[in-house]
Chain A
């Protein structure tokens, strides 16, 4: 018990110090623009559930909308000049410049290694994975007597592709079941947009799709999903703002089962992986979604390509809570390179399944590790 008392003492002092600090700052005159007046009566956002409601799947009033009216909302005039599927090569053109510096170099010296390390770190691979890759490469240089910078880059490419190899990157659908694909991730990574795009793709592939507006926290998230459902030709099930996401998703599952739809795309509110209560809520969402007739076949972690080293922590936490089966890497059409997915796959074994390369529905494409790596290195 003694360490506890020590801790307590320390905390008590912290508290008192806090009080002191407060008191002392109160006494000091401060420029009004430095410290905004306390606004205790400020209007707060609707509180998030601090605890998952005890009942499981109470049928919250959810309007099940009829199949959307003939798409009135015209697709924004997308200037898709060449109707070709965007390729990694094209999109990652910017990344090439990074590696251009040492490609012409004929000899391998310390500078070459430094530049390689810099390039990998700049791509957000992380210091750990970058070092591991280069260590492996150094061994290869000795064993295989590589001499030129070109050979070195080829060897690095091969090594990266090897490490990204997985047997199966497809999205799973069990026939004859009501499949649920759950989308999770932190705020603002593009979960709702991804569902919209993927919905369109799955409808085009002949699936009957129901979207579940499980983001009941962010204002107007359901409206946003509704617009996408309209564009995609999918049904949508939504509930009240602030409602229980598990209940809404379960309603969507039942509704899908009733009309024989084979795929439910379930949206969830963005949440930081550090918020225990919200991660608990997500755990429950997954549990409830997997309840008969529902059948969770994919849990997709949506990750923004600009995310840095925190992405690995996110992946770990979300997997711990919901058994993530794959990553969707969004916004890869920007200048960010999304290297953190390399760490996620090599350290946690979670493969990237889809990549978002633009604003339109067609810009969501399957991840191809060879192209990913090639595009990164091609000059």
Chain B
């Protein structure tokens, strides 16, 4: 579908190898690719123009470190620039000194206002607050019923017009919103989330209506709900809503699809307000504060290590993880641990999909079809070893090897191959541990992220395509969020 930006760069940079400095012509060629990638990710035309200009400024004449390949460095510049544009930091929600804190949700039809109102309510609840929802969408049939159902699932009360008024479609959303604020005060609820009807940004009448709601309720936060799949139009929509409502932030929805989400970049650039929250799934708890750095990587098609880590966390036993990590750092990672890890990996889902999330995966590997049955074979081999053998594979001699092979129905050479690769893996991990403990966590991790796939200097694990241009080089520097 989309080639990732780094893949595209490979071709261009093959020519540039050995150059210490990028000439203007080189940069132009690269910038064309960057522009194309951004446009394909639905970043707005005007925003792309500005971004490319800023990237050019930084890239022309930039000194290239001899040790790193130029593609890597330019991607790095682009990545930094995207993060800067998206707003480097995660939003901090402050609460009104005199409760309730009022939150207004606005957006186009179908962007996900109602669902995300409920998600936001759940999020506030998790922060120890007492939210309340207002069903102020009196236009769409059954919108209030939808909100009530969702609210029930998160156990938050809903205030709206009486049922017959809702059904008539004649209710006044301003009155409903005001009524709810009064009710919230009475009930001691400290957050009021107003779900409004979807409206087109160019519909003067409905925009006036939402302006009135805003004026009457004087919201502390006004969020524009934006679909991550939105194209070039995102800018117009955001501009119009911002003019009418003075937005405080954006909620980006449907990020669980494969849209690149360039719209977020456009909106941020135009409105100048941060993306506050992102919705990443259909379940009500799949919603959280927005992390600009993750999206920056996604727009560039660089894989998403942090999402992978999140997935890992889900599938993971914390204590086990810590133990395994510690053993790994000490270079005492055993086959037993490996077996455990394999079980965890399987829990995370299809191997092929996981590979796609790995940054820096060479293209050849990323597109390999992986047969999960191969896993079973490897497991079988390890299962055929005694506990002592798993802890200390060195003790496996010829006769033990034969026994293991017979036990798992493979040949002795397959057992050998596994043991050899495991040995290399151990070495790799040991090196990694040293780096982590030595160079400070952040830096160490950074190195590790790129380097561990195919350590350039160290022994490359067998079977990895070697020597292919860029195949083994670290592609993607990643910064850890918030630390």
Interface residues of B in 345-390 (CB under 8 A from A): 345, 348, 351, 354-355, 358, 365, 368, 370-371, 374-375, 377-378
The docked-state distance in angstroms from the alpha carbon of A10 to that of B358 is 9
The docked-state distance in angstroms from the alpha carbon of A228 to that of B142 is 10
B456 sits at the interface (CB 8 A): no
**With A118-B45, A311-B229 as contacts: A186 and B308 at CB distance below 8 Å:** no
**Contacts across chains A and B counted by CB atoms under 8 Å:** 316
The docked-state distance in angstroms from the alpha carbon of A309 to that of B461 is 38
Which residues does chain A contribute within 8 Å of B309, judged by CB atoms?
14, 17-18, 21-22
Which residues does chain B contribute within 8 Å of A15, judged by CB atoms?
312, 315-316, 321, 324, 341, 344-345, 348
For the complex formed, measure the closest distance between the CB of B214 and the CB atoms of chain A, giving whole angstroms: 20
Which residues does chain A contribute within 8 Å of B315, judged by CB atoms?
15
Interface residues of B in 216-233 (CB under 8 A from A): 227, 229-233
A205 sits at the interface (CB 8 A): no
Contact A36–B325 (Cβ < 8 Å) = no
Which residues does chain A contribute within 8 Å of B308, judged by CB atoms?
14, 18
Contact code string A110-139 (vs B, CB < 8 Å = 1, else 0): 000000001001111011000000000000
Which residues does chain A contribute within 8 Å of B358, judged by CB atoms?
10-11, 14
Contact code string B119-162 (vs A, CB < 8 Å = 1, else 0): 00011001100000000000111110111111001110000000
The docked-state distance in angstroms from the alpha carbon of A7 to that of B368 is 10
Contact A19–B230 (Cβ < 8 Å) = no
Which residues does chain B contribute within 8 Å of A4, judged by CB atoms?
370-371, 374-375, 378
Contact A224–B169 (Cβ < 8 Å) = no
A307 sits at the interface (CB 8 A): yes
Contact code string B421-449 (vs A, CB < 8 Å = 1, else 0): 11001001100100010000100010011
Contact A306–B258 (Cβ < 8 Å) = no
Residue among B122, B231, B321, B452 making CB contact with A124, cutoff 8 Å:
B231
Binds B, one of A43-51, A250-258, A283-291: A43-51
Chain A interface size, under 10 / 10 to 19 / 20 to 34 / 35 or more: 35 or more
Q: Which residue of A lies closest to B36 (CB)?
A: A127
B5 sits at the interface (CB 8 A): no
Binds A, one of B6-14, B184-192, B283-291, B401-409: B283-291
Contact A122–B421 (Cβ < 8 Å) = no
Contact code string B309-326 (vs A, CB < 8 Å = 1, else 0): 110110110101110110
* Interface residues, chain A, with chain B CB atoms under 8 Å away: 1-25, 28, 30-37, 39, 42-46, 48, 73-74, 76, 94, 118, 121-124, 126-127, 186-190, 217-221, 223-224, 226-228, 241, 272-275, 304-311, 313-314, 331, 333-337, 339-340, 359
18 A-B pairs within 8 Å (CB atoms) are namely: A2-B462, A5-B463, A7-B365, A7-B368, A15-B344, A16-B324, A19-B324, A39-B122, A44-B283, A46-B153, A76-B169, A190-B109, A219-B147, A224-B141, A273-B257, A307-B229, A310-B260, A331-B110
